[in-house]
Structure 1
């Protein structure tokens, strides 16, 4: 397993910097679905989809 310089939370920090508008803090993720052209995640309030 790799260890990013500065710690594992650097991965989530990088996602947040690039996807700030799509991030819903405090939402409970129940699963992640990978579709042919997107990734979706049903959460307690809505479904978020990100195109590749």
Structure 2
């Protein structure tokens, strides 16, 4: 959703079952080694690896 929608991180966290945006940010950093904003900027280029 970070790469394919304009939803806020708060909205994505809620739709994905996270307690809050902070929890989603921590998970993204753990999985991808980067921030949700960086993933969003990477878009659909596949530049960042990790879980689908």
State the TM-score, normalizing by the size of structure 1.
0.34
State the TM-score, normalizing by the size of structure 2.
0.34
Structure with larger Rg: 1
Q: Which has the higher helix share?
A: 2
Q: Give the number of the structure with larger relative contact order, counting CA–CA contacts within 8 Å between residues 6 or more apart.
A: 2
